[in-house]
Chain A
Amino acid sequence: GENVEQHPSTLSVQEGDSAVIKCTYSDSASNYFPWYKQELGKGPQLIIDIRSNVGEKKDQRIAVTLNKTAKHFSLHITETQPEDSAVYFCAASRPGANNLFFGTGTRLTVIP
């Protein structure tokens, strides 16, 4: 089955700096890669996603890049703010079903 690895497990940045979280996946058939943000005591919230026919996608301060050959994808947050502090999860999904395989999460702390 699919195996998704996520690094780093924790990340601290100064407010205004950029943050990068990286994920690798094992199943070359996976073609959908969402990113979720989870705040304490809440459910994950979808923040951006990318499909395998696209190499990069941006939404304001958030961007995701995908390298299908290397089977890795990354989340980039620019101009970080304290409210960006949360746990971020990457996930991968194969065609034919919506089942998601999640990474183990990255706890991002933005220091004011």
Chain B
Amino acid sequence: DGGITQSPKYLFRKEGQNVTLSCEQNLNHDAMYWYRQDPGQGLRLIYYSQIVNDFQKGDIAEGYSVSREKKESFPLTVTSAQKNPTAFYLCASSIPWTGGRNQPQHFGDGTRLSIL
């Protein structure tokens, strides 16, 4: 089945540690996204990538980093500079915006990150 796989489902981090969240898709989508979800809030965009080897900051990129070396993979690193990293992290993918039409985003089932 085609889809987006996020791992791990739960992740615990100690203060001062960097952690990397995995996102893999087999939908052959060029565009991938990372969102953060906090209780009672909508999803907020951290980073996005429209194509391999290219990515752009979203609204809340501070304290996060990404790479896009392969079309299928878009890992997110939560660095120690992120002051409040406890949240639910969601990865999404889509075909690129083309021909004047925005394209639907498809989401994985998320990684819940907690600070010990």
CB under 8 Å from chain A, chain B span 85-116: 90, 92, 94, 96-97, 100-110
Q: Assess whether B53 is interfacial by the CB under 8 Å rule.
A: no
In-complex Cβ contact of A98 among B40, B105, B108 (8 A): B105
Residues of B with C-beta under 8 A to A1: 59
Q: Which one of B45, B100, B109, B110 contacts A99 once the chains associate, using CB atoms below 8 Å?
A: B45
Contacts of B45 in A (CB 8 A): 99-100
User: Apart from A32-B101, A97-B97, A103-B42, what are 11 other A-B pairs with CB-CB below 8 Å?
Assistant: A9-B40, A32-B102, A34-B105, A93-B102, A98-B97, A98-B103, A98-B105, A99-B45, A99-B48, A100-B105, A105-B40
Enumerate chain B residues within 8 angstroms of A93, measured Cβ to Cβ.
102
Q: Which residues of B approach A to under 8 Å, CB–CB?
A: 4, 6, 31, 33, 40-45, 48, 50, 58-59, 90, 92, 94, 96-97, 100-110
Kindly report which residue of chain A lies nearest to residue B4, judged by CB atoms: A43
CA distance A46 to B106 in the complex (A): 7
Q: How far is the CB of A47 from chain B (nearest CB, A)?
A: 11
A31 within 8 A of B: yes
Please pick, from B96, B97, B108, the residue contacting A43 in the complex, using a CB distance under 8 A: B108
Give the bracket for the number of chain A residues in contact with chain B.
20 to 34
Q: Once the chains are docked, how many angstroms separate the CA of A91 from the CA of B50?
A: 19
Q: Are B110 and A102 in contact (CB under 8 A)?
A: no
Give the 4 A-B CB pairs with smallest separation, nearest first: A102-B42, A43-B107, A32-B102, A102-B43
Question: Chain A CB within 10 Å — which of B59, B100, B105 has the most?
Answer: B105
**CB pair B105 A51 closer than 8 Å:** no
Cα A83 to Cα B108 with chains together (Å)? 20
Q: A34-B104, A46-B105 are in contact. Are A96 and B97 (CB under 8 A)?
A: yes
Q: Offer 12 A-B interface pairs, CB within 8 angstroms, sorted by A.
A: A32-B102, A41-B110, A43-B90, A43-B108, A45-B107, A46-B104, A98-B33, A98-B96, A98-B103, A98-B105, A99-B45, A102-B43
